[in-house]
Amino acid sequence: MNNIWDIINVPMGFVIRFCNQIVGNNYIFALLLFALIIEILLLPFGIKQQKNSIKQAKLRPKEMAIRKKYAGRDDNVTKQKMNLEVQELYQKEGYNPMGGCLPLLIQLPIIFALYNIVMNPLRYICRLEDATIEQIKNIVSSATGKTNYDISRNIELLSDMKSMSYSDFANVEGFTAEMFENLPNLRIFGGFLDLGARPVDDIWSWLLLVPILTFLSYFFSMKMTRKLSYQPATTDQAMGCSNKMMDITMPLFSVFISFTLPAAMGVYWIFKSLLGVLKQYFLKLAMPIPTFTEEDYKAAEAEMNVKPERKGKSGRVVRSLHHIDDEDFADTAEAGKRRREALEAQEAEEAALREASMPKFLGGAKLKKDDKNDKKSKKDNTEDAPSEEKDNKTNDGE
């Protein structure tokens, strides 16, 4: 073995070779059969994942009761406390949130191995030695005029070999007529499409259908799989945005792969996506996800003695030490700023109302006091007037 990946590449190469022989050297059907075999081999992990989802779904009423308990509070401290209670519920009930990740991790080495097999079919499917492949490369180069063949990525070399006859390779050591007849046929629909070619090399050919169909099948499979699978409860809007981003970015990534690599990779991706939806559909029929009514949720709230936080009737914003440092942290800074602005606006409005009412009260009191003083002054003036007249008369008499 040339590298550690041959531990997986060689057995998988035998499987694809077996599939290719069953379907009569039609490579596209060999890829379909291989994708079906892989889905069957991964079925036990899919069953385990479905059971894990069912266990999580059964905890939904209690989980929603916990989330209802903290409804309306979006500060970081409250979120951490809520998540801690949810995790404690999972541990108590024996549910592992990471239990569904194993099938995804297992598929990664399969994808890497398939890439090596598709790119190097003469070695892993046809079981030819490097020296034999080198001789074949020289013969094909002389016939086609191409000098850029790579024996470690010889799918294009295999495609050009099929347009020649065995007599051209009769002198190649270790290469028999039977081997030539059993070479995978990469040309489909009567040579209309070549699975060994890359769409990026000829974007105006029918090969462009491969990345387009890859995008459609992957997008469809992600939507349907999410619909057929259990979706955990969450109040995080960022999670919804993340799912939407995944619905676009992952299919686009598959388009990039199928556009830059031989079309065989894109065809396998299409088969894998569609078979994955069928597998999830049958799993849902065999092991349906439980559903709950409103009474079930209320019973869970009563069982866990959850009482949602009561809101004040006045609707006023109040100062609270719980939010005193919100603006000091990035995740609560915006909410803290809005709360401070609302509090300042409320205080300014209340101050304005007080100022509007104070002049009326104080002004009225001042007016009454001034009237009283004026009356007293007039009375004093009236009382002083006769005395002045009397004094004047006395002075005149004298």
> How buried is 162 (Cβ within 10 angstroms: 0-12 exposed, 13-18 middle, 19+ buried)?
middle
User: H or E element: which one contains 194?
Assistant: strand 193-194
Report the percent of the chain where pLDDT is more than 90: 22
CA distance 328 to 336: 9
Q: What is the pLDDT of residue 274?
A: 94
Q: Which two tokens stand for residue 65?
A: 């009761």
The residue with greater pLDDT, 9 or 347, is 9
Nearest to 280 by CA among 224, 223, 231, 233: 224
pTM over 0.75: no
User: H or E element: which one contains 204?
Assistant: none
Is the CB of residue 81 less than 8 Å from the CB of residue 332? Answer: no
Q: How many helices (H) and strands (E) does the chain have?
A: 15, 2
Q: What is the pLDDT of residue 326?
A: 61
CA distance 246 to 239: 10
Q: What does the pLDDT look like over 174-193, one tens digit per residue?
A: 899 988 988 888 888 766 78
Confidence tier at 252 by pLDDT (50, 70, 90):
confident
pLDDT at 157 over 80: yes
C-alpha dist (Å) from residue 318 to 228, 313, 314, 343, 355: 46, 12, 10, 7, 21
Q: What does the pLDDT look like over 129-143, one tens digit per residue?
A: 989 999 999 999 999
The predicted model gives 276-288 an average pLDDT of: 93
Q: What does the pLDDT look like over 332-389, one tens digit per residue?
A: 667 677 777 877 887 887 787 777 766 544 444 444 555 555 555 555 554 454 444 4
Q: What is the pLDDT of residue 392?
A: 47
> Quick one: how far is CA 2 from the chain centroid?
38
Q: What is the pLDDT of residue 206?
A: 84
pLDDT at 396 over 50: no
CA distance 147 to 251: 35
The contacts found for 338-345 with CB under 8 angstroms, 24 or more apart, are 342/317, 343/317, 343/319
